[in-house]
Structure 1
Amino acid sequence: MNRHLARKIAEVITNKQLQEMFNSAKENIKDWTVVSNVNRIMSKGTAWNILAKAFDESKEHHIMAKTNMVREFGEFLPKEFMDPFKNVRPKTTIAVVHQDPIF
């Protein structure tokens, strides 16, 4: 997930939804040694320890922390939650300018 989309989601997501995302991630991640999306020098397991290990649902979290949580584990958000945030751009046809090469 890219940073821009993660930020838009982080602005509206609730702590309860984040907790559900973490619970789903905990159950479904098989390989914790995969490279993290947030920081390429650490593993997904290290990112879990920093972002989710001591997550407190009753506490307000900084927007950057939420953004990083969603970037790292956003694939475990419910599909219904992701639908409004899809970046759907209508495909337009562009006229290509072409000239034969002159040798």
Structure 2
Amino acid sequence: MNRNDARKIAETITNEQLQQMFETAKAKITDWTKVSNVNKGLTKGVSWNILAKDFDVNSNHHILAKTNMVREFGEFLPDEIKPQKKVRQFQPPTHQDPQF
């Protein structure tokens, strides 16, 4: 997920929805050694330890922390929260036969 989409989601997401996202991620991630989306020098396991290990539903989290949480584990959000995929429709290119 890109930073702009993650920021928009982070502005409106609740702590309960973040907790649900973390529970789904914990159950579905099989390879914790993959490179992190937020910081390429870390793995998903290290990102988990930083962002989700001590997550408190009753605490108020900074918008940047929420943005990073959504960027890293946003693929595990419910479909109604995820941003809609933009379908680009391309017009065929203009063509003329060469004139010799």
TM-score range with shorter-chain normalisation? 0.7 to 0.9
Task: For residue 33 of structure 2, give the secondary structure of its aligned residue in structure 1.
Answer: coil
Call closer, same or farther: CA 1:7–1:97 in 2, change over 3 Å. farther
The letter for the 2-side match of 1:34 is K
Q: Could you tell me how far apart the structure 2 residues matched to 1:64 and 1:10 are?
A: 8
1:88 aligns with 2:82: no
- Tell me the equivalent position of 2:47: 47
Letter in 1 for 2:84: K
Structure 2, unpaired ranges of 5+ = none
**Which structure dedicates a bigger proportion of its chain to helix?**
1
Q: After TM superposition, give the deviation of residue 16 of structure 1 in Å.
A: 0.2
Give the whole-Å Cα distance in 2 for the aligned partners of 1:96 and 1:62: 50
The corresponding residue for 1:36 is 36
Instruction: Output one character per residue of 1:36-76: Cα deviation in whole Å (capped at 9) or x when no partner.
Output: 00000010000000000000000110000000000000000
Alignment CA distance shift 1:66-1:97 (3 Å): farther
Q: Distance in 2 between matches of 1:88 and 1:47?
A: 28
User: Could you say what secondary structure the match of 2:81 adopts?
Assistant: helix
Unaligned runs of 5+ residues in structure 1 are none
Aligned length: 98
Q: Percent identity?
A: 58
Q: CA RMSD in A?
A: 1.9
CA distance in 2, matches of 1:97, 1:27: 52
